Structure 1
Amino acid sequence: MSLHLTPASPDCNFTVTQCSHIFPEALGNIEVGGATAKEYEAATVWTILKRFGYEDICTELASAVQGANLHRLENILTLDMRIHHMFDKLKLWFEAVEGQPNCYNIELAPSLGRPPFIPRRVQFVSHHPGLPLPSPRYLEVHAACCRIAHMSGAAEYLDLIYRRMEELQVLANNGGSADVLTFALHRRLAVVEPV
């Protein structure tokens, strides 16, 4: 059996790509009335979207309890695995270029600088005309979440707290780990007694 592969040119750059959801796949893995941390967080995201006027997005993506709608092509990007990680961590987002459909400037969290493997602009295209491109509205909501997280400083603080939670084996005698304990307790209480 012959595969007929085309040899790569010596100056060609390679990367590993991954399927990336604009609205994470975890938002669909919930049960109505569920009480786990992930179910509570997912319900909170849908509630916030509705309160900010994005009921249409909730209807499109959350109507299937098991998350089948989250796999629609409008919610999917194929990204370099490093870019995928930054996108999921709200450290990278796409800003629409006015007057140029499906063209986006790639914005980064201020702390990142600009790694050489990240272009400044991208144009989404479909090589199959019948298949939809990523939804500009979904990307707009993701970008807004990123901007808010970095403008408020919340992203850096949460990164620090999560890192300290993972590394901390015992609480400090001087109260230096009180913020980590408080965060962990609030998170646990939110799961037990959802608002």
Structure 2
Amino acid sequence: MTLAPSPQPLPTNPFIPETPTHDAYDQCLSLEQQPGWHVFESDLGRDFSESIMRDMSPVIVARVLGHALRLAPSDEGREVLTREIIDCEAHPELLAGLGHLYVYGMIRVFYNPKGPTPSISAIQSPRRSFEEVVNARSHLLSAPLVTTRELRQLTLIRDENSCVFTGDLDVGIDRPVLVAALDLDPDRPTASTHVAHIISQTLSSDIGGMTQAARDKVLFMLLLSQFFQYAVLERFGGFSAHAILGEANLNSALNALTASGTPHSWFDCLNLWLVPAKDEHGAVISDTYDVRYPTSEDPRRFRNARLKQRISFRTGSTTDGTGTVIPPPHPRILALHAACAQVAHLSGAVAHVSEFYGNPDPDGISVMTEPSAPTELVRKLKTLQLISSTA
């Protein structure tokens, strides 16, 4: 298992000189050298976004954007980010906002410490008005054609009733199947498994305890933010999530795998990701991935969990007479998950995403008369801070 680097400075500019991407990366290198936003005080307007700039230092913003340029999962995504950085014209407030957008509006989409995910989908362009987006795309929040229970059955069939990370046999499968598997290998470990979504997070939860009027207002804001963040995800990933996932939305087998508890938690918290495996000639092996994890974590945790070094997915099919084809996880979705995980750790932004969910109230946002409620609400709506300047 190859170790991925822990948080570190940006390397020297790897891009061809006198190209837009080279210039964009140079802006990141320059920003990384600044000790704080106070050095830009004379460049900031009277009403600058102090809360955004106070949340992440210039170093972290620079590393988020710089490492994202290096690790973009597609040429299209790199070109999009290049244009966005260049359009900031080295303005500190705009760069800080762009860094926030990529941390809270994209990386956060893959960070899910709370388990199963509701169904949502995506849009194509964040430059459209939000009213137009809601009118044109509201159907994307409808229930998927595949339920989570049905998805679990499909992924179990495809993943051969076992955790893809460890090979542990699922203890909840039909007893005759379980007995037959253990007869073949009596020492095979067993575990409870779950569906692990790759794109896994939404903003449409944890708003209990509010008046109906407040809930309606927040739900509308969250709806806009969902569309906006998924547009960012698609632009950087270089694909249309709706085109890939179809009407199943997040409950598509293309966006899911079978995992036991510990690897599932690590994968959802970006402490485990998959990169395409290559053969001895350097050619990518189809649907085969090497397992990676950050060096900021104690490697003994991962060794003791008996993680495989390499995972191979297959195409499955049902045996109920329908012959339903169950595809392996989509490589572009896995690539975007891996890019977000690496950028989060290389930049140090993973601590900010973790703090976003830190010590959550188990009942969601508290009643608004509670002393901590305003803080909880602000924390939940961090990703909305850029809407007024981008709509």
| TM-score past 0.5 threshold | yes
CA RMSD of aligned residues (A): 3.7
Partner of residue 200, structure 2: 24
**1:15 corresponds to which of 184, 187, 191:** 191
Q: Point out where structure 2 has 5 or more consecutive residues left out of the alignment.
A: 1-174, 206-217, 279-283, 318-322, 362-369
Q: Looking at both structures, which has the greater relative contact order when contacts are Cα pairs under 8 Å and sequence separation is at least 6?
A: 2
Q: What does 1:167-182 align with in structure 2 at a 5 Å threshold?
A: none
Cα distance, 1:190 vs structure 2: 5.2
Deviations 1:68-127 (A, max 9, x none): 322222112111221111111111110011321111111112222233221211111234
Deviations 1:46-67 (A, max 9, x none): 1212332624234434x65xxx
**2:241 corresponds to which of 53, 57, 60:** 57
Paired letter, 2:188 = C
Partner of residue 291, structure 2: 106
How far, CA to CA, are the matches of 2:356 and 2:386 in structure 1? 22
Q: What does 1:1-195 align with in structure 2 at a 5 Å threshold?
A: 4=176, 5-6=179-180, 8=182, 9-24=185-200, 26=202, 34-35=219-220, 37=222, 39-52=223-236, 54-61=238-245, 64=247, 68-98=248-278, 99-112=284-297, 113=299, 114-117=302-305, 118-128=307-317, 130-160=325-355, 162-163=357-358, 185=378, 187-188=380-381, 191=384, 194-195=387-388
Q: Point out where structure 1 has 5 or more consecutive residues left out of the alignment.
A: 172-180
How far, CA to CA, are the matches of 1:144 and 1:124 in structure 2? 20
How far, CA to CA, are the matches of 2:351 and 2:201 in structure 1? 23
Larger Rg: 2
Percent identity for Structure 1 against Structure 2: 24
Paired letter, 1:23 = I
How far, CA to CA, are the matches of 2:273 and 2:181 in structure 1? 33
Q: State the SS of the aligned residue for 1:163.
A: coil
Shift in alpha-carbon separation, 1:20–1:143, aligned structure 2, 3 A: same
Q: State the SS of the aligned residue for 2:286.
A: coil
Deviations 1:141-175 (A, max 9, x none): 11011111111101124324643666xx989xxxx
Shift in alpha-carbon separation, 1:19–1:111, aligned structure 2, 3 A: same
Contact 1:35 1:192 in 2 (8 A): no
Select between 13-22 and 108-117 the one with higher mean Cα deviation: 108-117
